[in-house]
Chain A
Amino acid sequence: AQTVTQSQPEMSVQEAETVTLSCTYDTSESDYYLFWYKQPPSRQMILVIRQEAYKQQNATENRFSVNFQKAAKSFSLKISDSQLGDAAMYFCAYRPSQGWYGGSQGNLIFGKGTKLSVKP
C-alpha cells in the first residue's frame, strides 16, 4: 500500500527566510501526482503546488518550489521569503494514478502534516 511520511511534525522559520518541509512516499507505481496542501487556521484545504511524476522539472509557484527526487521517492517543499501568512499546517499528498481520474484513483493519500510557524 502506498504511504506518505512527513518526518517533521513542527517547523519554525523567521520571516523573510527560507524553509524546507520534507516528504517521502512509498509506491510501486511509475505514474502519479504529488501535491502540497496548506491548511490555515480557517481549516480550508488550499492547494499549494503539484508535481507530475513523469516530469523531471521541479514545479514552482511563486515563492513555493519543490525538490522532486523520483528515485529516492522524496518530495520536499521549499518556501522562500517566508511571510506571516504562510503559517499553517502543510500536508503532502500522493495520488496513485493519473489514468482514470475518478473513483479510487482520485483518492489522495495524505501525510500526517507539518505545522509551520513563522516568527516576525
Chain B
Amino acid sequence: NAGVTQTPKFQVLKTGQSMTLQCAQDMNHNSMYWYRQDPGMGLRLIYYSASEGTTDKGEVPNGYNVSRLNKREFSLRLESAAPSQTSVYFCASITRDRGYEQYFGPGTRLTVT
C-alpha cells in the first residue's frame, strides 16, 4: 500500500514548455485534489475531482488543466509553463474514515525559468 504517489519529484521547465504531473492513489478513495504551495503561503487548491469522471476548479485554476483518468489517477497539466507557476505541487486524496483525513503525496518541486 503506497498511499499517494507523485511523479516526478523535481522538474525544471523553460517558459512555454508543457508537462504533466502524475498522481496515483491505491487506497480506493473517491476524491482527489491538486494543491500548490508557495513561500509564505499555505496550500491553495488548483483543481479537484469529487469522483471518477468529474473535475472542478479550485481557488487558483488558471494555467492548468486536469484529467481524472480513472479512480486511481489524477493528472495535472501545464500547457504553457510560466515563471509564476514555479511552486511545489501536492496531490491529495480523501477518505471518510479517520475524520475525513486528507492523504498527501510527497510533492513535486517545479521550477520554470
Write the chain A residue with the least CB distance to B43: A110
For chain B, residues 44 to 86, give those with C-beta under 8 angstroms from any C-beta of chain A: 44-45, 48, 50-51, 54, 56, 58
Interchain CB contact under 8 A, A102 and B94: yes
Interchain CB contact under 8 A, A91 and B43: yes
- Determine whether B41 belongs to the interface, using a CB cutoff of 8 Å to chain A: yes
A-B CB pair tally, cutoff 8 Å: 72
- Determine whether B102 belongs to the interface, using a CB cutoff of 8 Å to chain A: yes
Known: A43-B106, A50-B99. A103 touches B43 (CB 8 A): no
Contact residues in A for B56 (Cβ distance below 8 Å)? 103-104
Interchain CB contact under 8 A, A110 and B42: yes
Interchain CB contact under 8 A, A98 and B100: yes
Known: A45-B90, A102-B31, A102-B51. A107 touches B45 (CB 8 A): yes
Pick the most buried of A42, A93, A108, A112: most chain B CB atoms within 10 A of its CB: A108
Write the chain A residue with the least CB distance to B96: A101
Known: A43-B88, A101-B94, A102-B94. A108 touches B43 (CB 8 A): yes
Count of chain A residues with a beta carbon within 8 Å of a chain B beta carbon:
26
Interchain CB contact under 8 A, A106 and B48: yes
- Rounded to whole Å, the gap between the CB of A44 and the closest CB of chain B is 6
Contact residues in A for B40 (Cβ distance below 8 Å)? 9, 112-113
Contact residues in A for B54 (Cβ distance below 8 Å)? 103
- Determine whether A64 belongs to the interface, using a CB cutoff of 8 Å to chain B: no
- Which of B33, B41, B99 sits near A33, CB closer than 8 Å? B99
Residues of B within 8 A of A (CB): 30-31, 33, 40-45, 48, 50-51, 54, 56, 58, 88, 90, 92, 94-96, 98-102, 104, 106-107, 109
Task: Offer 18 A-B interface pairs, CB within 8 angstroms, sorted by A.
Answer: A4-B42, A9-B40, A44-B104, A44-B107, A50-B99, A95-B100, A101-B95, A102-B30, A103-B51, A106-B33, A106-B94, A106-B102, A108-B43, A110-B42, A110-B44, A112-B40, A112-B41, A113-B40
Residues of A within 8 A of B (CB): 4, 9, 33, 35, 42-45, 47, 50, 52, 91, 93, 95, 98, 101-104, 106-108, 110-113
